Amino acid sequence: MVPRAILLVLSLIGSSVLAQYDNSTDNLRYVDQLIGSANGGNVFAGATLPYGMAKAVADVDSESNQGGFTTENGRVTGFSTMHDSGTGGSPSLGNFAFFPHPACPGDDVNNCVFPKTRRALNYQTDSVKATPGYFGITLSSGVSAEMTTAHHTSLFRFKFPATGNGTNPLILLDLTDLNGSRQDNATVSVDGETGRMEGSARFLPSFGTGTWVGYFCADFKGANIKDNGIWVNSRADANVKDLKINRGINGGALPGGSFVRFSTNPAEGVLARIAVSLISSKQACRSAEAEIPDFDFDTIHTAAESAWREKLAPISVSATGVDASILTNFFSGIYRTMVNPQNYTGENPKWSSPEPYFDSFYCLWDSFRSQLPFLTILDPVALQQMIRGLIDTYEHEGWLPDCRMSLCKGYTQGGSNADVVLADAYIKGLSDSIDWTKGYAAVVKDAEVEPYLWSVEGRGGLDSWKTLGYIPTDDFDYKGFGTVTRSVSRTIEYAYNDFCIAQMANGLGNQADKEKYLERGQNWKNLYHAEQKSLLFNGQDTGFTGFFQGRYANETWHTQDPLWCSSIDPNGNRVCSLQNTGQETFESSLWEYGFYVPGDQAGLISLYGGPAAFIKRLDYLHDQNITYIGNEPSFLTVFQYHYAGRPALSALRSHFYIPRFFSTTHDGLPGNDDSGAMGSFVAMSMMGLFPNPGQNVYLITPPFFESVSIKSPLTGKTATIRNVNFDPTYAAIYIQSATLDGEPYTENWIDHSFFTEGKELVLTLGRNESSWGTRVEDLPPSLSEYVGFGNGTGDGNRTAVVEKRLVRREGMGRVDFAW
Ligand SMILES: *[C@@H]1O[C@H](CO)[C@@H](O)[C@H](O)[C@H]1NC(C)=O
Ligand SMILES: *[C@@H]1O[C@H](CO)[C@@H](O)[C@H](O)[C@H]1NC(C)=O
Ligand SMILES: *[C@@H]1O[C@H](CO)[C@@H](O)[C@H](O)[C@H]1NC(C)=O
Ligand SMILES: *[C@@H]1O[C@H](CO)[C@@H](O)[C@H](O)[C@H]1NC(C)=O
Ligand SMILES: *[C@@H]1O[C@H](CO)[C@@H](O)[C@H](O)[C@H]1NC(C)=O
Ligand SMILES: *[C@@H]1O[C@H](CO)[C@@H](O)[C@H](O)[C@H]1NC(C)=O
Ligand SMILES: *[C@@H]1O[C@H](CO)[C@@H](O)[C@H](O)[C@H]1NC(C)=O
Ligand SMILES: *[C@@H]1O[C@H](CO)[C@@H](O)[C@H](O)[C@H]1NC(C)=O
Ligand SMILES: *[C@@H]1O[C@H](CO)[C@@H](O)[C@H](O)[C@H]1NC(C)=O
Ligand SMILES: CC(=O)N[C@H]1CO[C@H](CO)[C@@H](O)[C@@H]1O
C-alpha cells in the first residue's frame, strides 16, 4: 500500500531521534489510525474522542466501507458523524453526511448533484491525514475537508477553491447512513435566517433487531448565507424549508436532505458543526452549543489530542533499539481499544437512570477475550462505567447483551459472554460502585432462565443444558428461539460461562452456587468423543484422536469433520457463521474449539494424553494453519503452551504472528479489528502479559520492548516489566529466570495485583528455552490437578502451592479457587 503522510513522518523519526523520547508519555505520535483501514480491517480512521459518539470521517463507496473510510477503491460520498470501528457484517452507522460543492453550475441549485450514488468524487491520495482527533482529505473538486470532534459534536472545515466570491459554494446534508437503511418519515427543517438544520431519521442497526432514531443539529459559520432549503432526489428548492421523507419503494432509501449556499468564499473556509443525539434534535443543539460554542477548530482539535494523550499516558515503553513500526503497532493497537465501545451516557431514550450507558459492544464475543481485560488495566474507570451500563441494561431490558449497537439488541454468536466480562472485572477487584449483587443476578439469569429470543440475549437450550449437560445437535427447544446450530461451540462456551459464574459465586460467598456452576462448568466433557479421528482433506490422518463432537439428545454422536470451518477447509461455500444452515461450531472448527476450556486446561491436557501430546496438538493447530489469527477464538491458543509447562513456546508463537500478521500498513490486519479486539491482542501480546479472561491470570512472555511500565489509573502505582538481555532482533525471547520485586519468581503467570500494587517483574532472557516456569507448581491455576507432567514435577505438593496462592491473593479481597 502507498504509505500515507503519517507513515512517512514516522519513518523519518529515526532511532537516534527516538532514543531521547524513551520515557516520554507523548505516545500519540505512534498512533496510526489508517492501520486496518483496508483489506477488511474496517477500522474507523477518522476523528473522535476516546469512546466518543461523534466520529467524523470521509465516507467512501468502497464495498468495505464499514468504518466509513478505507484507502481501497473508494470515492468520497460525504462526511458523516457517527461510525463504528472494525465491525464485520453490514456497514454500521454513517449518519447525516455533509457533502460540499464548490458551486452549482449556472448558479442554479438544481444543477448541483445531490444523490449519494451520483455525487461521489475521487480524492487526492496524498491528501489524507489522520491523527488522533483529526482527519483531513482533499477531493478532486479541489474542496479540502478537515474535521475534528467533541463528544457529541463534529466540526468540519471546508475550504473551497479560490474561484472568488459569487460562485456560491453549497453544503448539503443527507438524511442517510452508510447502508441506506433509513426508514419512513425522516425529517429536516432549515432555519432560513441562520441556516440551522434540525431533524431526525429512523434506521436499522447493522447486526441486530429493531430500529433506532438519530437526531441532529447542524450550524454553519464563516461565510455569508445566500440561501438554503431542502432537496429530494435530484431536485432542490430554497423556498421549501421543511421536509418529511418516505423511504421510497425502490430498495435503498429515497435520497433527501437539506442544503445551504454561501455568497462568500473566505480563504479560511466555511465551518460546519453538527451534533448528534438519540434523544432529540434540541438535545443535539444543546450539545453543539456547549461543546463547540465558538467553532474554534484549533481549540477543539487540541482538546481532542489532549484527551487521547492523556488516555495513552499511563503506559510507557523503552524504545531502545526497536524499530519505530513496533511502537506504532503497539500504540495504534491500544488507541483502537478506546474508539469503541461508545459512551452514550445521557443519550439513552429507552430508560431513565443515573447509571452510565455505553453502546457499540460489537460484540462481546470478540471483546471479552482481551479488549475489555486490557481496559481493566489501562482505563478501569471507563470499564467500570461500561460494566455498570451492562448491568443497567439487564435491569431495564431483562438481560445482559452479547452484542449491542445503536440502542438495539445485537445477535448472540455463542455463549452469554457478558458473564465472562463481569467475572473478569469482579475478580480483578473493580470498584464497589458496581452493584455486584445485581451483576451476579444478571449472570445467574443467563444460566437459569431461557429467553424467548435467545438469538439476541441469554442462552438457548437450557432444559437440555440442565438435564443432559450439553446442547444436543437436534435439540428440542420450544421455550426460546434462535438459530439452532453451533451446538458444540455453544456447549463449551456455556460451560466456561458457568465456570466464570462459579468464580463470582465463590467471591460472594455463595457456596451452593459455586458448586452448582462449577459442576456445569465441566459440561464440555460431555462432548468429548474419545474415538473421533481427524483426516486432512487429502485423506491423510492428522494422527490425533479425540475431539469434541456434536451429540444428539439420545446421546449418540453426530459427525462433523473436525477440520470443517477451519482456515484450511477447502470448501469456500461451507456455511460457518450465524446462518440457519451453519455447522455445530461458530466461525471455527472442532479442532480450534477443542482448546477452548479456559478454566480447566489441566483437565484438557490429561484428556489429550498429557503435556507432550497437548503441545504436539497445539503446534499442529498453528503450524498447519488450522487456526486463523484473524478471528478471536485463536487468541488464547497462542499462549496456551503455558499450561503445558512450555511458556517459551507461547513467546515463540506470539512472535510468529506479530508482526507477520499484524503490520503497520493499511492492510496490516488479518481480519476485522472487531471494535479493537485485534488491537488489544497486539497490545497485550507485545506488553508480555496475556489474560485468560474471567480468571485472575496473566500469562507471562517477554515484552517486545526492553521495558514496559503502566501506571494504574486507580492506585497511581506503576507496574514495570523489564527485560534483561533484551534483544531487539527477537532471537533471545526465552525467559531464563525472573524476579518479582527483587525476589525470585518462577510462576509463569501473575495476577492483577501486579498492576494495582505497582510491582516490578524483571525477566532475564536468553536464546534457548530454559526450565523457568515449567514445573507444575509454576503453572497457572486450573480446575483439575495437573497430572502426567514427568518426573519430579507432577508430584509437587499441591497443598503447598494452593496455600501460597491463597496468601498472595488476600490483598485482592476475593479469592478465586480455580485449582
Ligand atoms: C527521561 O528522558 C529524558 C530525556 O531523554 C532524560 O533526561 C531522563 O533522564 C529520562 N528519565 C528517566 C527516569 O529515565
Ligand atoms: C469573499 O468575501 C469575503 C467576505 O466579504 C472575503 O473575506 C473574502 O476575501 C472574499 N474572497 C475572495 C476570494 O474574494
Ligand atoms: C410514518 O408516519 C406514518 C403516518 O404518521 C405512520 O403511520 C408510520 O408508522 C410512520 N413510520 C415510521 C417508520 O415512523
Ligand atoms: C461518559 O459520559 C459521561 C457523560 O458525559 C461522563 O460523565 C463520563 O465521564 C464518560 N465516561 C468516560 C469513560 O469517558
Ligand atoms: C439418535 O438420534 C439421531 C438423530 O435423531 C438418529 O439419527 C439416531 O438414529 C438415533 N440413534 C438411536 C440409537 O436412537
Ligand atoms: C501456513 O500459512 C503460511 C502463510 O501464512 C504459509 O507460509 C505456510 O506454508 C502454511 N503452512 C502450511 C502447512 O500450509
Ligand atoms: C542454544 O541454542 C542454539 C541454537 O538455537 C544452540 O546452537 C546452542 O547450543 C544452545 N545453547 C545451549 C546452552 O543449549
Ligand atoms: C521418568 O523417569 C523414568 C526413569 O528415569 C524414565 O524412564 C521416564 O521416561 C521419565 N518420564 C518422563 C515423563 O520424563
Ligand atoms: C504439603 O504442604 C502442606 C502445606 O505447606 C504441608 O502441611 C504438608 O505436610 C505437605 N505435604 C507433604 C506430603 O509434604
Ligand atoms: C440498502 C443497502 O445498501 N443495503 C445493504 C446493507 O448491507 C448489506 C451487507 O453489506 C448489503 O447486502 C445490502 O445491500
Is the model's pLDDT at 139 over the cut of 70? yes
Retrieve residue 18's grid coordinates. 527516538
State if residue 788 touches ligand 8 by the CB under 6 angstroms criterion.
no
Q: For residue 411, what pLDDT is reported?
A: 97
Retrieve residue 661's grid coordinates. 500478521
pLDDT band of 812, cuts 50, 70, 90: very low
Ligand 8 centroid–CA 749 distance in Å is 27
State whether 299 and 338 are in the same domain.
Answer: no
State whether 304 and 339 are in the same domain.
Answer: no
Residue with cell 443527507: 174
Residue 505 domain-assigned (yes or no): yes
**CB-based contacts of 63, cutoff 8 Å, min separation 6:** 73
Residue 320 domain-assigned (yes or no): no
Is the model's pLDDT at 555 over the cut of 80? yes
State whether 331 and 302 are in the same domain.
Answer: no
Ligand 10 centroid–CA 392 distance in Å is 32
State if residue 22 touches ligand 1 by the CB under 6 angstroms criterion.
yes
Q: Alpha carbon 756 to chain centroid distance?
A: 24
Residue 528 domain-assigned (yes or no): yes
Nearest CA to 501 out of 427, 606, 586 is that of: 427
Phi, psi (deg, nearest 5) at residue 523 = -60, -20
- CA 244, CA 251: separation in Å to the nearest integer? 18
Residue 318 domain-assigned (yes or no): no
Q: For residue 816, what pLDDT is reported?
A: 40
- Ligand closest to Cα of 795 equals 9
Is the model's pLDDT at 809 over the cut of 50? no
State whether 114 and 195 are in the same domain.
Answer: yes
pLDDT single digits (tens) 415-427: 999 999 999 999 9
pLDDT single digits (tens) 697-717: 999 999 999 999 999 999 999
Give me the mean pLDDT over the 790-800 stretch.
Answer: 42
Number of residues assigned to the chain: 819
Give me the mean pLDDT over the 661-682 stretch.
Answer: 96
- Ligand closest to Cα of 178 equals 10
Q: For residue 804, what pLDDT is reported?
A: 42
| Top mutation candidate among 16, 20, 23 for ligand 1, by most atoms within 8 Å of CB | 23
C-alpha to C-alpha distances, 726 to 247, 392, 706, 762, nearest whole angstrom:
61, 46, 5, 11
pLDDT single digits (tens) 430-444: 987 999 999 999 999
Residue after which a domain boundary falls, among 249, 279, 311: 311
Ligand 1 centroid–CA 17 distance in Å is 14
Is the model's pLDDT at 795 over the cut of 80? no
pLDDT single digits (tens) 503-550: 999 999 999 999 999 999 999 999 999 999 999 999 999 999 999 999
State if residue 183 touches ligand 3 by the CB under 6 angstroms criterion.
yes
State whether 251 and 350 are in the same domain.
Answer: no
Ligand 8 centroid–CA 771 distance in Å is 17
Nearest CA to 798 out of 521, 612, 602, 650 is that of: 602
Q: How far apart are the first and last CA of the chain?
A: 49
Residue nearest to atom 7 of ligand 7 (CA): 768
Is the model's pLDDT at 17 over the cut of 50? no
pLDDT band of 553, cuts 50, 70, 90: very high
What pTM did the predictor assign?
A: 0.91
Side-chain half-sphere of 538: how many Cα atoms within 13 Å? 3
State whether 737 and 696 are in the same domain.
Answer: yes
pLDDT single digits (tens) 252-270: 899 999 999 999 999 999 9
State whether 360 and 228 are in the same domain.
Answer: no
Q: In a 3-state reduction of DSSP, which class is residue 246?
A: coil
**CB-based contacts of 484, cutoff 8 Å, min separation 6:** 460, 475, 477, 580
Q: For residue 265, what pLDDT is reported?
A: 93
Backbone region of residue 107 per phi and psi (left: phi > 0; alpha: psi in -120 to 50; beta: other values): left
Residue after which a domain boundary falls, among 311, 340, 361: 311
Q: Among the listed ranges 498-507, 561-570, 593-602, 810-819, which one has the minimum average pLDDT value?
A: 810-819
Domain count, the chain: 2
Q: For residue 166, what pLDDT is reported?
A: 67
Residue 30 domain-assigned (yes or no): yes
Residue 321 domain-assigned (yes or no): no
State whether 556 and 692 are in the same domain.
Answer: yes
Retrieve residue 423's grid coordinates. 467475572
Question: Radius of gyration (Cα) for the chain, nearest Å?
Answer: 27
State whether 305 and 431 are in the same domain.
Answer: no
Residue type for position 117: T
240 and 150 in contact (C-beta within 8 Å)?
no
Is the model's pLDDT at 793 over the cut of 80? no
State if residue 357 touches ligand 4 by the CB under 6 angstroms criterion.
no
**CB-based contacts of 485, cutoff 8 Å, min separation 6:** 578, 579, 580, 581, 582, 583, 584, 586
Q: For residue 164, what pLDDT is reported?
A: 63
Residue nearest to atom 13 of ligand 7 (CA): 768
What is the DSSP-derived secondary structure letter of residue 800? H
Strand ranges for 473-631 from DSSP E: 528-535, 541-548
Q: In the chain, what is the greatest distance between 2 CA atoms, to the nearest angstrom?
A: 90
Residue 317 domain-assigned (yes or no): no
Side-chain half-sphere of 366: how many Cα atoms within 13 Å? 29
- CA 659, CA 645: separation in Å to the nearest integer? 25
pLDDT single digits (tens) 624-651: 999 999 999 999 999 999 999 999 999 9
What is the DSSP-derived secondary structure letter of residue 783? S
C-alpha to C-alpha distances, 653 to 32, 207, 471, 738, nearest whole angstrom:
25, 33, 33, 20
- Atom in ligand 5 nearest the alpha carbon of residue 473: 4
Helical packing angle, 436-448 and 511-520, nearest 10°: 40
State whether 435 and 483 are in the same domain.
Answer: yes
65 and 30 in contact (C-beta within 8 Å)?
no
State whether 286 and 371 are in the same domain.
Answer: no
Q: What is the CATH number of the domain that holds 370?
A: 1.50.10
Q: In a 3-state reduction of DSSP, which class is residue 302?
A: helix
Residue 472 domain-assigned (yes or no): yes
Q: Is the dihedral of CA 794, 797, 799, 805 positive or negative?
A: negative
Q: For residue 813, what pLDDT is reported?
A: 32
Helical packing angle, 487-507 and 418-427, nearest 10°: 30
Residue after which a domain boundary falls, among 267, 287, 311: 311
**CB-based contacts of 306, cutoff 8 Å, min separation 6:** none
Q: In a 3-state reduction of DSSP, which class is residue 248?
A: coil
- Ligand closest to Cα of 733 equals 7
Q: For residue 165, what pLDDT is reported?
A: 61
Residue nearest to atom 5 of ligand 10 (CA): 179
Specify the pairing of strand 270-277 against strand 698-700: unpaired
State whether 281 and 350 are in the same domain.
Answer: no
Helices (H), 531-662: 590-593, 601-607, 611-623, 647-657
Specify the pairing of strand 718-724 against strand 760-766: parallel
Residue span of the structural domain in which 263 resides: 4-311
Percent of the chain with pLDDT over 70: 93
Is the model's pLDDT at 179 over the cut of 80? yes
562 and 534 in contact (C-beta within 8 Å)?
yes
409 and 209 in contact (C-beta within 8 Å)?
yes
Q: In a 3-state reduction of DSSP, which class is residue 124?
A: coil
Q: What is the CATH number of the domain that holds 235?
A: 2.70.98.10
Is the model's pLDDT at 785 over the cut of 90? no
- CA 382, CA 115: separation in Å to the nearest integer? 40
